[in-house]
Structure 1
């Protein structure tokens, strides 16, 4: 069924490419400039979106082995992810239940975590197994003092967690069936080649760029080229979106040779897997996934975006994942060159522009920004941000139950 949906999207792109058309939004949409600069709104978004909705917190290949862990902070919430003995993933509040000190930092492999303040010890499944000087401390119920658990979900080689331990929102419902399509990337079993973190502008300013092909031949003229495509069709699954160029052609990369394929001439069963996942796949509110070819094989850059401490700041971790770990010196060099190129594009072009844009908007002299009919991805994104920021917890359940039913039809 997922392949059928992917083929239908591909045929949509081929038909529009052959006709030299694209799908347009109904109208030009205006978004208040204050949506990017208002500090009170920024804090509300952090609370009602990033601390309430499921977030893609790691690719599975970042925690491939039992005992692997990663500690991170998201909008003031300390999170600990662990790969447990049975292969499942645990997501915990990274705070010792004695005084709240984090029990882990960075990443590594460990079966237990010992708090560096008083020495309380927890298993990597969150259970409290040791109270230092227990006789002196006094009787406590260790089962009631385990690390606090967050809802967690692993699918399509990606890991989601919700930073609200009391959330009743199903992560699967939230994804609206999108994770079934993401399985087409075949990330299960892939390897994490490299990662880094970049400083960016306001989180919505940064995310706008992932949903926008319109800027590609202008902003990226020196990197991608001025003849690069600037059109995209958008496919929505609840708040999550895939955008891809309407074209009847695709490039098949094989070794050192690039071959142009006429997709109209191929039967459905002949469409290669890399063609079915072309374009940019976004997971609301903060993930972008794009395929690349480097190091002699398929790869992808997964960009994980979070708000910073201030309204004009964000940070993005870029994960470069590959189908297999490159073995030869030439392939390792090629993979690094591809990843380094993507850093230049995002840091020196996208995010540098976004920072200048945000600084200008903070003058308060421009009341609205525009999203054209050819920028439907940005329109949909901002509509969902506003809707979910203002929704109650009960309304969230209703919204995604309805989206899940629609996705199943």
Structure 2
């Protein structure tokens, strides 16, 4: 289970700031939850119309992989950081995505900037790693830039010659911050609205309240082909089999899917929620609660995916509410990917017991993903590279994978203008519903 939810959990007191400002989002989440409760009570789930075949070469074709990096990861908005990774003015991080060096900065006014991390003199990166800085000096010739991208210093200007500094600022990328998450598009000339691309999905993600959360820990894991890895985030079917030794052989394997353009939420149909931080153990029968009584944690349970590379799922480390945000990128080769796991928490643990429990939860999730999901995915990829299997199957109970691969194929072929029109329509459709 790529960062799936072990239980539907309920604390004694729940609070998600996003709900207070977005009644429409809460109504949509209530509607989803009532559907999940009804299916859980009836012992049913929503099914796709048919079993779907996907060419096995989708995962192994090197030419296709290179096109995916260019057409998907270098054209579409990507969730590049949780807001709590850059909480203060001056905070920055540098990262490489599909061959593009990116620099993110939190500026004095609180906004976020996204820049091509290349000095406009010779192209050397001006920053590495992460930290806090108001300016960046290139380590090659000493040109200096403010953290808003402005060129403010040319070394030995009397020798270099006259230049227009305003024309030599760091190249800006489109950037968008919403719901406590930061998106950037790695095409400085992109006309695709990031808000349109999200199709209103960020309005639902607002319910987590991430903008006020704390980044507890993070790490990066190596994985298989990016689509092989992403398939797992959209699949509860494998949970009681692959994770029998971690989550248990009686774990649920059903999921209902909710689509917002290419972005999907999957959640298990159930009428019960497990109590956490409560005076009495046991579970709550959600069929007996009014809409107002359904806790916020229940409304956002499940796995939330943001196309093409993000998974978000809730957890409780030592009784403290948290979430693992998994950020997946393709590697250098078709059979490689890497995933940064961010463990964010609603509140910073305040004592050694809580800190230890949060670390134990995060370490447990590393074992599940690294030693079960990704280890299996790597073996799967090696087998598919034999070329002896023509198609892979996605069953009627695996609609998330069907939707994902349909969108991946469609966006791969879409022109830049197609993207603008496509997501403008999707955003309008979602707003009308």
Are the counterparts in 2 of residues 295 and 326 from structure 1 also a CA contact under 8 Å?
Answer: no
Equivalent residues in 2 for 1:150-165, closer than 5 Å: 150-165=173-188
2:315 to 269, 292, 310: 292
Q: SS where residue 210 of structure 2 aligns?
A: coil
The reply on whether 1:32 has 2:55 as its aligned counterpart is yes
Equivalent residues in 2 for 1:259-274, closer than 5 Å: 259-274=282-297
Give the CA RMSD over aligned residues.
0.8
Give 1:131's aligned residue. Answer: 154
Supply the distance in 2 between the matched residues of 1:377 and 1:85 (Cα, whole angstroms). 41
Q: SS where residue 132 of structure 1 aligns?
A: coil
The reply on whether 1:187 has 2:206 as its aligned counterpart is no
The reply on whether 1:102 has 2:134 as its aligned counterpart is no
Unaligned runs of 5+ in 2: 1-23
Supply the distance in 2 between the matched residues of 1:271 and 1:130 (Cα, whole angstroms). 57
Give 2:11's aligned residue. Answer: none
Q: SS where residue 306 of structure 1 aligns?
A: strand
More relative contact order, 1 or 2 (CA 8 Å, 6+ apart): 2
Give 1:363's aligned residue. Answer: 386
Supply the distance in 1 between the matched residues of 2:211 and 2:140 (Cα, whole angstroms). 38
Give 1:10's aligned residue. Answer: 33
Shift of residue 6, structure 1, vs aligned partner: 0.3
Are the counterparts in 1 of residues 216 and 348 from structure 2 also a CA contact under 8 Å?
Answer: yes
Give 1:322's aligned residue. Answer: 345
Give 2:370's aligned residue. Answer: 347
When structure 1 is superposed on structure 2, of 75-84 and 289-298 the one drifting more is 289-298
* TM-score, structure 2 as length reference: 0.94
Are the counterparts in 2 of residues 68 and 108 from structure 1 also a CA contact under 8 Å?
Answer: yes
Are the counterparts in 2 of residues 13 and 233 from structure 1 also a CA contact under 8 Å?
Answer: yes
Equivalent residues in 2 for 1:86-235, closer than 5 Å: 86-235=109-258
- Rate the CA distance shift 1:40–1:287 in 2: closer, same or farther, 3 A: same
Give 2:10's aligned residue. Answer: none
Runs of 4+ in 1 over 3 A off after TM superposition: 255-259
The reply on whether 1:336 has 2:352 as its aligned counterpart is no
Supply the distance in 2 between the matched residues of 1:306 and 1:257 (Cα, whole angstroms). 43
Equivalent residues in 2 for 1:33-48, closer than 5 Å: 33-48=56-71
Are the counterparts in 2 of residues 255 and 296 from structure 1 also a CA contact under 8 Å?
Answer: no
- Rate the CA distance shift 1:28–1:126 in 2: closer, same or farther, 3 A: same
Structure 1 residues 91-134: Cα deviation after superposition (integer angstroms, max 9, x where no partner): 00000000000000000000000000000000000000000111
- Rate the CA distance shift 1:257–1:115 in 2: closer, same or farther, 3 A: farther
Shift of residue 173, structure 1, vs aligned partner: 0.1
Supply the distance in 1 between the matched residues of 2:377 and 2:93 (Cα, whole angstroms). 29
Structure 1 residues 131-185: Cα deviation after superposition (integer angstroms, max 9, x where no partner): 0111111110000000000000000000000000000000000000000000111
Are the counterparts in 1 of residues 52 and 393 from structure 2 also a CA contact under 8 Å?
Answer: yes
Q: SS where residue 254 of structure 2 aligns?
A: coil
Give 1:311's aligned residue. Answer: 334
Are the counterparts in 1 of residues 149 and 169 from structure 2 also a CA contact under 8 Å?
Answer: yes
